[in-house]
Amino acid sequence: MDPTVPGQLHRCKYLVLFNRVTAFAPTFRKYALQPNLYGIIGGNITLLCQPEAAPQADKEWLKNGAPFTPSEDPQDRVSLLTNGNIHIRGLETSDQAEYECIATNEHGSDSTRGMLTVLRMFSFCFHYFCIFFLTFVLCSKYFK
């Protein structure tokens, strides 16, 4: 390969040692945050930030595009766990937002995001009641 010939210069993204990848930029290809997350008021949810990276990546969270730094005290309502995940207990409507995890190491960065929708228990139950009721009515009408 001649690096002076256009199209023949390739940038190496990985450091390979004895047929093992030992260094690479973070990626969320395997463990991306679900694009649509749902919780019920008063419930709990854990937002996962699990990139593959070598060396291990630093993690940063955004909430609606702004830096978000939850407490590191696991007893708080919103806490940053030691593995970089966020745990929210006692969900409130103010928790509804787009959350993004950004992972960075010396080889690059990647991000994953998901929209958390917080539902009222009544509307959640009402929705499933309507589906059940409509199914019952349609089945009763056409399968007498």
Residue type at 7 in one-letter notation: G
Is the Cα torsion angle 68, 60, 98, 108 positive or negative in sign?
Answer: positive
The domain tally of the chain equals 1
Q: Which two tokens stand for residue 84?
A: 């970089």
Whether residue 82 lies inside any domain: the answer is yes
Whether residue 4 lies inside any domain: the answer is no
**What is the predicted pLDDT for the residue at 87?**
97
Whether residue 18 lies inside any domain: the answer is no
- Give the HSE-up count for residue 63: Cα atoms under 13 Å, Cβ half-sphere: 12
Whether residue 79 lies inside any domain: the answer is yes
Domain boundaries, position 50: 25-142
Residue 124 maps to which CATH number? 2.60.40.10
Cβ neighbors of 3 (< 8 A, separation 6 or more) are 9
pLDDT in tens, the chain (144 residues): 444 545 444 444 555 555 666 899 999 999 999 999 999 999 999 999 999 999 999 999 999 999 999 999 989 999 999 999 999 999 999 999 999 999 999 999 999 999 999 998 765 455 555 555 545 544 444 454
How far apart (Å, rounded) are the C-alpha atoms in residues 60 and 51? 12
Q: Which two tokens stand for residue 41?
A: 């008021």
